Amino acid sequence: MSGSSPISSNVPSTPVSITMGSAFRRRYHPYMTKRQLATLNSLKKSSHLAVKENAARNSSCKFIQEVGKKLGFPQTTISTSQALYHRFYLYYSIRDYSPQDISVTCLFVASKIEETIKKLKDIFVAVHSVKYPDSKELDPENVSEERRRRIIGYEKLLLETLCFDFQFRHPYEYVAKFVKWIQAFQPLDGKRLARKAYSLAVDSYRTQLCVEYPAHTIAAGCIYLSSRLLKEEDKDFRGLTEEQPWDQLFLSRMEDIEDVCQQILDLYIMNNRGDVTLYTRMKIELNEQAHERGPDPDMDEITRQELKSRPSDWEFEGMSPLDVVNTNQHTVSYHFANSST
């Protein structure tokens, strides 16, 4: 977990957002396309910063997981905390807001959203215990008032970023329901498949999947990838059959299911977790499968461009960044008013 940034000791007097204007209102939508994610990264003006934010996202979500377990939070509360972290840094930068402070804020807010409330001082104690496992436990009375006020200030900013919409759905319930449903029409080692898919779903929150795809699509990807991984471990494992139209049964595009698999595999390869050679081979197989299937014949060109993967420093092709961000599918819509209104 990276330490506090040099400016993290003071809450900015004016929120430092990548999109500013004389006046705006926000409209909440839960998911966004790859084009929009690339646009938001481009607005931060630095490809080097994007690399740092990816590393911070990975370590911060691992940190949130450890602190959440220390506090006795259920996985839903921890995953809500991680989803809040991802959403906050879509619009704000680690240059201006310390990942550690925002992680604490997300845990605090998630405990309220999921009704597993903990006092802020208890979260500070757990954070200290995770950061310094060999040191003496932090006395809650030694937490400075300035530190507490800083987190409360970030809480308000986080709530504004959410547009005060607190509806979070996680893939865990869909993993259980999908596996139980599949067992009704084909032989399946359901318990093993569900356990593995659940584990992948937990790890998926170390990526931005939760702001890109709905929970049932993430669950579908986790089940699909789990079946492939378990078949590699045990040739007798009864997983998903190849002949079923899983995109229709999971109510998700096959391209999206495969992309969920690809992003989780990328996470494991980046962290050198498990059999990297196997994960790399599986990525190649998924690419070959998509190539053989070909493009979706029912997809229009505008949607195809929205879903197309782009580098973080891509050009806006003659459009203003604000025009690109404000598409119908975007999470926040900015409507600028005249300064006189």
Domain boundary among 119, 134, 161: 161
The answer on 152 and 39 residing in a single domain is yes
Alpha-carbon gap, residue 224 to 235, rounded angstroms: 16
pLDDT one-digit tens code per residue, 54-80: 889 999 999 999 999 999 999 999 999
Nearest CA to 179 out of 167, 189, 169, 164 is that of 189
Tell me the CB-side half-sphere exposure of residue 208, using CA atoms within 13 A. Answer: 22
CB 67 within 8 A of CB 126: yes
Percent of the chain, pLDDT > 70? 77
The answer on 282 and 194 residing in a single domain is yes
Alpha-carbon gap, residue 56 to 103, rounded angstroms: 11
The answer on 270 and 250 residing in a single domain is yes
The count of domains in the chain is 2
Is the per-residue pLDDT at 320 higher than 80?
Answer: no
Write b or e for each residue in 39-54: b if 16 or more Cβ atoms lie within 10 A of its Cβ, otherwise e.
bbbbbbeeeebbeebe
pLDDT one-digit tens code per residue, 76-111: 999 999 999 999 998 888 888 999 999 999 999 999
Q: What pLDDT score does 2 carry?
A: 38
Our measurement of the distance from residue 138's CA atom to the centroid of its chain's CA atoms, rounded to an integer in Å, reads 30
Asked if the structure places residue 167 within a domain, the reply is no
Domain of 203, CATH number, reads 1.10.472.10
According to DSSP, the residues that pair with 239 across neighbouring strands are: none
End-to-end CA distance of the chain: 44
The answer on 134 and 56 residing in a single domain is yes
Q: How many residues are present in the chain? A: 341
Integer CA distances (angstroms), 323 to 76, 89, 144, in order: 35, 20, 43
According to DSSP, the residues that pair with 332 across neighbouring strands are: 28
Question: Is the whole-model pTM more than 0.85?
Answer: no
The answer on 189 and 124 residing in a single domain is no
Asked if the structure places residue 208 within a domain, the reply is yes
Per the structure, the complete domain to which residue 213 belongs is given by 172-293
Q: What pLDDT score does 251 carry?
A: 86
Asked if the structure places residue 308 within a domain, the reply is no
pLDDT one-digit tens code per residue, 215-259: 999 999 999 999 999 999 999 999 998 888 888 889 899 999 999
Alpha-carbon gap, residue 48 to 38, rounded angstroms: 14
pLDDT confidence of 305, banded at 50, 70, 90?
low
CB 96 within 8 A of CB 16: yes
Domain boundary among 161, 180, 199: 161
